[in-house]
């Protein structure tokens, strides 16, 4: 069985869609998957589904949602029955526990490949690092839980996942620039930098990729635009590493070899 939260919610087994159809049940299943192989308290389920305004029959309603999720899981050829689904989605004393096998949830794969990719980068195995980090990024099918209504807990989870994705992409760009792949990633850096105009690391990476691709004037224009944006929106100036990168570009007189990569680290 394959589970997915890095995009639309997904539960598939041998081509069979095992997702519940009701919005609240999907929301609860998403919460359980975000906490796969960990106990989720009844209180957390209630907070996510109803925030501070639960219905008078909140416990029976929650139990009904759990039953419907189990029925959806029972449609899986591997699970096969509601009794089997009870082994996958376990009721504890004060909450629930969804068992997910290794390699079956995209979030777990993303976290594993990111962890291994960063470890490879730390050991200067850059080619392996890029391969692993790109695998991690390929686990994403779109915005996390894009088709699920979210309450306070899932909203925080979605925000955290997006930060993790950007951090992994940042690390991947860093290693690819170190390998000299600036032209290969230039269009992707352009799009990512445009989506995150206040992220100085991404802007610095984009500047360096432009500069090394012979587009020095455009690289300097990116710096000027970022400086104005930071001043207008935050009342701040560029960070010291970014200022040093700008100064190095000005003094290098168009020679990419004179602009050290370390300035964007």
In CATH terms, the fold of domain 2-98 is: Arc Repressor Mutant, subunit A (1.10.10)
Residue 218: is its pLDDT beyond 80? yes
For the residues 87-105, what does the mean pLDDT come to? 92
pLDDT (tens digit per residue) in 165-202: 999 999 999 999 999 999 999 999 999 999 999 999 99
pLDDT tens profile 115-124: 999 999 999 9
**Is the confidence at residue 4, as pLDDT, over 90?**
yes
CA 46 to chain centre: 25
Share of the chain above pLDDT 70, in %: 95
pTM for the whole structure: 0.89
Burial class (CB in 10 A: 0-12, 13-18, 19+), 39: middle
Q: In this predicted structure, what is the pLDDT of residue 119?
A: 97
CB 34 within 8 A of CB 161: no
- The residues, any chain, with a CB within 8 Å of residue 54's CB and separated by 6 or more, are 46
Given this model, what pLDDT does residue 14 score? 86
Other Cβ atoms within 10 Å of 233 Cβ, number: 10
pLDDT digit string (tens) for 30-45? 999 999 999 999 999 9
What is the 3 state secondary structure string of the chain?
Answer: CEEECCCCCEEEECCEECCCCCHHHHHHHHHHHHCCCCEEEHHHHHHHHHCCCCCCCHHHHHHHHHHHHHHHHHCCCCCCCHHHHHHHEEECCCEEEECCCCCCEHHHHHHHHHHHHHHHHHCCCHHHHHHHHHHHHHCCCCCCCCCCCCCHHHHHHHHHHHHHHHHHHHHHHHHHHHCCCCCCCHHHHHHHHHHCCCCHHHHHHHHHHHHHCCCHHHHHHHHHHHHHHHHHHHCCCCCHHHHHHHHHHHHHCCCHHHCCHHHHC
Delimit the domains of the chain by residue range.
Answer: 2-98, 181-265
Longest CA–CA span in the chain (Å) reads: 72
pLDDT score of 260 more than 70: no
Q: Give the residue among 22, 30, 43 at the shortest CA–CA distance from 4.
A: 30
For residue 80, pLDDT over 90 is answered with: no
Mean pLDDT (whole number) for 215-220: 93
Supply the pLDDT for residue 256.
65
Q: If one looks up domain 181-265 in CATH, what number appears?
A: 1.25.40.10
**84: pLDDT confidence band, cut at 50, 70 and 90?**
confident
Mean model confidence pLDDT for the chain:
92
């Amino acid at each position: 069985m394959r589970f997915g939260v890095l995009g639309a919610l997904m539960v598939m087994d041998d081509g069979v869609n095992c997702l519940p159809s009701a919005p609240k049940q999907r929301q609860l299943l998403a919460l359980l998957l975000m906490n796969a192989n960990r106990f989720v308290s009844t209180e957390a389920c209630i907070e996510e589904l109803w925030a501070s305004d639960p219905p008078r029959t909140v416990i029976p309603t929650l139990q009904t949602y759990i039953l419907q999720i189990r029925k959806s899981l029972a449609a899986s050829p591997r699970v096969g029955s509601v009794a089997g689904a009870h082994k996958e989605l376990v009721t504890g004393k004060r909450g629930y526990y969804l068992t997910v096998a290794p390699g079956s949830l995209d979030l777990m794969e993303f976290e594993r490949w990111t962890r291994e990719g960063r470890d490879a980068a730390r050991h200067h195995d850059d080619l392996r690092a890029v391969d692993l980090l790109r695998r991690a990024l390929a686990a994403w099918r779109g915005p996390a839980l894009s088709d699920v209504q979210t309450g306070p807990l899932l909203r925080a989870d979605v925000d955290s996942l997006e930060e993790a994705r950007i951090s992994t992409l940042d690390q991947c760009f860093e290693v690819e620039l170190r390998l000299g792949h600036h032209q290969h990633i230039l269009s992707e850096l352009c799009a990512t930098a445009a989506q995150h105009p206040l992220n100085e690391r991404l802007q610095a990476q984009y500047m360096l990729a432009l500069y090394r691709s012979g587009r020095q004037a455009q690289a300097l224009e990116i710096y000027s635009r970022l400086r104005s944006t930071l001043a207008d929106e935050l009342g701040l100036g560029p960070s010291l590493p970014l200022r040093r990168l700008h100064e190095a570009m000005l003094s290098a007189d168009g020679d990419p070899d004179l602009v050290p990569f370390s300035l964007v680290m």
